[in-house]
Amino acid sequence: MKKLVINFCNFIFGKHKTNTLPRYWILIVDMVIVIVAYFITILMLYFNDIKSSGFDWERIWIVPVVYLVAFLISRTYDGMLRYSGFNDIRKIFSACTGTVAILLLSKFILSNTSFHNLATYFPRYVTMVYHYLITMTIMILMRFTIRRLYNEVYKNPIQKENTLIYGAGDAGTMLLRTLSQDTAAVYKAVAFTDDDKKRVGIQINTIKVYSPSEALTKTFIKKNNIKIMVLAIPSLDEERRKQIIEKGMALNLVVKTIPSFSKWVDGEIKSNQIEDIKIEDLLGRTPIKLGKENVTREINGKVVLVTGAAGSIGSEICRQVMHYNPTKLIMLDQAESPMYDFQFEMNNTPDFKDLRDKMAFVITNVKDPVRMREVFEQYRPQVVFHAAAYKHVPFMEENAYEAVFVNVFGTKLIADLAVEYGVEKFVMISTDKAVNPTNVMGATKRIAEIYTQSRKGNTKFITTRFGNVLGSNGSVVPLFRKQIAQGGPITVTDRRITRFFMTIPEACSLVLEAGSIGDGGDIFVFDMGEKVKIWDLAEKMRQLSHHPEIEIIETGLRPGEKLYEEVLANEENTIKTDNEKIMHAVVRKYETADVDSMIEKLHTELETCDPMKIVAQMKVIVPEFKSNNSVFSQLDK
């Protein structure tokens, strides 16, 4: 019996694991508000003469009944009160406005027909309008009062950090509104700063806007106990963005940013979308704007083959090529798992999933003559982007045979097939390590350049050289991230070492552009911007990780590693092209017969599997190859 009573009470009063009020309770409260609002309206309008209002206990029922029907149809009681928002206001507004419209229209129609006696069951027009306004106001206030009480009293308060918002425009204002409404956010906005002098001094929802010269000072930061700065200007240019971030970091602030407008949810920024600053934000440059006409002409309606398609550069080339409407894109790589992941990505990318019939994925090795011939025979590519290569310097120092086999003879095989099958353009992805090489990997890429440059026939061979790309597989940035995640130390081979950096999309855009303007035998070098000191890069990544205790240590240069990278050899110069970011390298020309003879000798040495003999022949082909590896440096004597 007792259990039966408990179950009955739970059914009537509600027992919920989420501690939410039963929906019918909310409906009852709303109906009480409707009735109370009616009496408030009567008292407001007819306090001195209640009888003149036409108020009648027997006829009061019609207004609540119509409101009840409207609430049931609009389901105004469905929302959780503690999370009331704009959609709840919209429902209440629609229900109340619809109700008063029906009441007013019904009274008007009945008053002008033979049923005018029924019109007396309705309150006066002014009474219904006032009642509508009061009812809607109380219902909305009730919901937001409960939400506020829940967040401020019932819910466990979160320790918030004082935050400076950089940017007092639309994005900054919307961010402030989000932070003030989201009690789960860890940010408490205490000040704005903005470059626009017109905004300095004004207040936005009681938060004052300061100039950067005033706000970004140690005195101001300490006085206001500011711990975080959120950069809220999505459209800011890269150079100014870097300046602001570095200024914030210099003040020991945790610097964060918000995404671009396109990533906002329903036109609003959410507090969980506030992102950490990434090292790419400090190394990136102003995006290069390229004309699409040249690339469209070269790719549209053609069969394109990309080798090394699952790699960082190869995969981005594939993504960009697909936007130029090729007849077929053949993506080729030997790495099964990365290729599987890339295939899944391409097949499920919204822009490409309807173009699956234009994509082919091939697993094979570029040094396999039988399989590669089959690929050329089956697909008949018209444009080839050759990105497949071994690129890790220390590995290739220890595996000279494989470096030469893939980077030189793999390239030779693809290039020869390109000539045989009438490929229009062959674009090879080279590296700045091919310039005055000090390691096996760089030398193999230079030999590949020499071989493709010396080819004759209708196929136009083009080489593109560039340095490190941010975020590429095996590059220094992902390595530092792993070391930081493991608690350090961060290892830098030499405090003096510098490198060029560019983003993967930027590099691949330039590859496509260079391929389109090349006329055969060309080597293009890219404007890589300013050199970056790797030690400084490590320090910035440590600071961005908020783990200043992590140690940075020097480990010494690895075999074959350079202190400084170059884009041109000692005897090379450049000629400007129509694109200021792409330069045409003037390099030494080789006769086809001479190159073929040297390559044949290299193949002979390769068959010995003797690294010393292999590297010795490489130095014959590339005289400027001066090895930093003590094992091979003796060959320079």
Q: How far apart are CA 492 and CA 537, in angstroms?
A: 10
Closest CA to 207 of 184, 230, 236, 235: 230
CA distance 613 to 616: 5
- Residue from 91, 302, 391, 433 carrying the catalytic annotation: 433
pTM over 0.85: no
Cα torsion 132, 133, 135, 138 to 10°: value is 170
433 catalytic? Reply is yes
Can you give the C-alpha Rg of the chain in angstroms? 36
Contact between 303 and 331 under an 8 Å Cβ cutoff? The reply is no
Percent of the chain with pLDDT over 90: 31
From CA 506, how far away is CA 18, in angstroms rounded? 50
Which pLDDT score, from 0 to 100, does residue 406 have?
Answer: 95
Q: Where are the domains of the chain?
A: 2-154, 161-277, 293-633
Fold that domain 161-277 belongs to in CATH = Rossmann fold (3.40.50)
Query: What topology is assigned to 293-633 in CATH?
Result: Rossmann fold (3.40.50)
> Which is higher by pLDDT, 385 or 627?
385
Instruction: Give tens-digit pLDDT for 114-165.
Output: 676 777 777 778 888 888 888 888 888 888 777 766 665 555 556 788 999 9
Kindly report, residue by residue over 587-635, the tens digit of the pLDDT.
Answer: 788 889 999 999 999 999 999 999 999 999 999 999 988 887 777 777 7
Q: What angle do CA 606, 610, 612 make, to 5 degrees?
A: 105
Domains 161-277 and 293-633 alike in fold: yes
Using one digit for the tens of pLDDT, what is the confidence trace for 552-585?
998 887 776 767 666 554 455 666 777 777 777 7
Mean per-residue pLDDT, 24-52: 78
Q: What average pLDDT does the chain have?
A: 82
User: Residue 61's pLDDT band (boundaries 50, 70, 90)?
Assistant: confident
Asked if 389 and 312 count as a contact pair (C-beta separation under 8 A), the reply is no
* CB burial readout 357-388, b (16+ within 10 A) else e: eebbbbeebbbeeeebeebbeebebbbbbbbb
